Chains A and B, each alone.
Chain A
Amino acid sequence: MSSEFISSQDAVPTPSVSKIPVEERLFSLVLALLATETGLTKNEVLATVQGYRQRYRAGGDNANLERQFERDKDDIRDLGVPLETVDSPGQSGNNQNLRYRIPRGSYELPDDITFSPGESTLLNLAALVWREGSLSGESRRAIIKLKGLGLVSDEPVLGYAPRIRLRDAAFEPLRAALERNAIVRFAYLKPGEAEARVRELAPLALVQHQGRWHLHAAEPGTEITKTFLLRRIVSQVTTTGATFPAPSGDQTAHALAELDEVWESHTADVEVVPDSDAGTRLLKRRGSLRLPSGVLRLHYSDVNIFADELAGYGPEALVLSPPALRAAVHSRLLRTVDEHAADPSTAGAPGAEGTNHG
């Protein structure tokens, strides 16, 4: 999305007779469409609005300018400006007679929406969370709008630097597809399976749960929903061209509730070395419990992911149950040993047990 609007204005090789900046043209378009009750036809826009009219040729070919207008509409809508089209009376279906306008009621922030200085401070901090990807631009623009309300926030929240990562390459294309209710296709590698399988899905929500991004999606044409870890998407995400009806209800809440439910229902008993890194950190996971025996009862969502995490603790953590997790951690540790076997070229080092220093 963002790359389109950055380049769109310069992409047109129109012999530019004037140097009217992009923002002036967009601003003038918003003003003109806000001011009209009945709407303006495309021709009226091109012929009269600042930034277009300079390049408009009466009775001539305005194809480039028309394309410019199409892109500008998208850019303006991207910003949350509700640009709408209305059929001219008795002329429905005739594209040339569509009229464009921005209804004031849906453009303006309702009067009763105000933010206290404390809320404004919090919103500024919430915007800081996004420092990468297109969401950093979205939150930056949200803050510009917030400041337009004339708010003065409390003193900035000193001492916080929160951030959420958007490192999964699948995030942006999925988010874009979600907004357009577009069916997506990608290859997904399920742990334990040797090969990735291509899936076609209706994306419903993107949620971060326990630090990882998940896609909540439906099998097209069915009510069956599934949750996918973005990290396991191993291909590019593409759209198939098909769309699906917009789902009703709060899909994110639904997805998070499901993930929470899974988290609650999966428990593992893990013996930890007292006062070790594992002992300290595992106990601080959400919902962890120390049993009278000293064993920790831990919650998790996914055997494979949790097995990875536990394998990192080496000898500090020993899974007692469930057996599947126990086996998964054991095999991971063996694999790591195997992959780090002493290099045969560095003289007759013994096997996996290795030699200790000194």
Chain B
Amino acid sequence: MAERTPPLQAQDKLAFLLSLVPFLMEHERISVQDAARHFAVKPEQVREAVKLIAVSGIPGETGQYQHGDLFDLAWDDFEDHDQIVLTNLVAIDDAPRFSGREAAALIAGLQYLSALPENSDRTAIASLMAKLSRGASALPSQFAVGASETDETLALIRTSVASGVQLQFDYINSRGEHERRRVDPLRIESMDADWYLRGWCHLREAVRTFRIDRIGNPTVTTEPITTHAADVHLPDTLFEGSANDLVVTIDVAPSAAPLLADYFTDGTESTLVGGRNRTELRVSHYHGLKRLVGGLPGMVTVVEPADARRAVRDWAAAGAARYEPANDIAEDAAAGDAEDAGQENDTR
């Protein structure tokens, strides 16, 4: 984790200083390395902070920052042995409260996580939220996330992730095809109300992302997983581009553009055409595209290639036909249009 720590802003640095002092008071002697590990920062950040603390203090009676008005440090221990021992303390006795916003961010995060199986004990979560609220210096600001119900599939997946055993389930890909998949579950991910499983698929022999709401009849096996999270690259972004992706030109209403951000190619230029952004989208196949575009009616139009336009049109036309009299049969639905067997990223 430590390699991903961003550079601290001035406010972060202040929060760090105000939190580091009580931490150091608790630990009469601690190495720079241990403190850095605890706060998940670079050792150099701890050294800098300690040096600053050691020369800081209060103006005092004289307004001159006399010796006794300053923090002090066992400098030899610090400089020769990288050990932190505070020898004089001023002003600070205790850890600071959370701000209203900080508490609200954690509370809303907890509300969101209440969907996780291990958080099914709602009383424990509620008491934790109450503590955050009481530990804030202002009323937590007014934003929240609606709690979702614990999903049984999620619970099952969680069990198999935790115990390191393979999972089997039926999966419908966006072409509408069914397959029984055997997967080494590696990570449960989410984006707002949608939950996903990242795992090593034994059928495809590759890392795949599965929408949890497309998973049917899951069973936890007794077979240990063969591929571990450390063995493969699990990217941070849910939707990964691939060399086999199809590039599609679309016109998108500016208000809908953020909804498609994951599908835009890097550095995609967009030009304004008739009040809409003309831009490029990457998709693994048109079966995903037709569902995506069909679900954003009036907001996205495929410009080219013609095959892509046709895939969207046929899909919507087949849907519309079901609303017309004497056509109310689902015979030509979904099936039979699996023309391109490209690689999949069955997330949409």
Contact = CB atoms under 8 A, between A and B. Distances in A.
A86 interface: no
A31 B151 CA distance: 49
A234 B131 CA distance: 38
Given A28-B56, A34-B91, A332 B297 contact: yes
Interface in A85-133: 104, 106-111, 113, 115, 119, 122-123, 125-130
A280 B214 contact: yes
Nearest to A51: B56
B79 interface: no
Interface residues of B, number: 132
A161 B296 CA distance: 27
A301 to B, nearest CB: 11
B330 A273 contact: yes
Contact of B144 (A140, A205, A309): A205
Contacts, number: 414
A264 interface: no
A106 B97 contact: yes
B72 to A, nearest CB: 14
A165 interface: yes
Interface string A201-216: 0001111111110000
Contacts of A160: 116, 187-189
Interface stretch (B12-20, B200-208, B265-273): B12-20
Mostly helix, strand, loop or mixed at chain A's interface? Answer: helix
Interface in A157-203: 158-165, 167-169, 175, 178-179
B96 A107 contact: yes
Contacts of A308: 295-297
A81 B113 contact: no
Interface stretch (B80-88, B102-110, B277-285): B102-110
Interface string A239-251: 0000000000001
A34 B56 CA distance: 13
Contacts of A355: 310
A337 interface: yes
B92 A34 contact: yes
B316 A336 contact: yes
A326 B136 CA distance: 48
B241 interface: no
A9 interface: yes
A23 B12 CA distance: 9
A356 B170 CA distance: 29
B168 to A, nearest CB: 16
Given A141-B11, A159-B162, A204-B142, A346 B306 contact: yes
A122 B110 contact: yes
Given A277-B174, A340-B309, A163 B143 contact: no
A335 B297 contact: yes
Interface of A: 5-6, 9, 21-24, 26-28, 30-32, 34-35, 44, 47-50, 53, 75-76, 78-82, 104, 106-111, 113, 115, 119, 122-123, 125-130, 135, 137-142, 144-145, 147-150, 152, 156, 158-165, 167-169, 175, 178-179, 204-212, 231-232, 234, 251-253, 255-256, 259-260, 271, 273, 275-277, 280-281, 284-286, 307-309, 311-318, 326, 329-330, 332-337, 339-343, 346, 352-357
Instruction: Identify the 10 closest CB pairs spanning chains A and B, nearest first.
Output: A80-B99, A312-B295, A148-B19, A211-B193, A126-B109, A252-B144, A142-B102, A336-B316, A332-B297, A333-B320
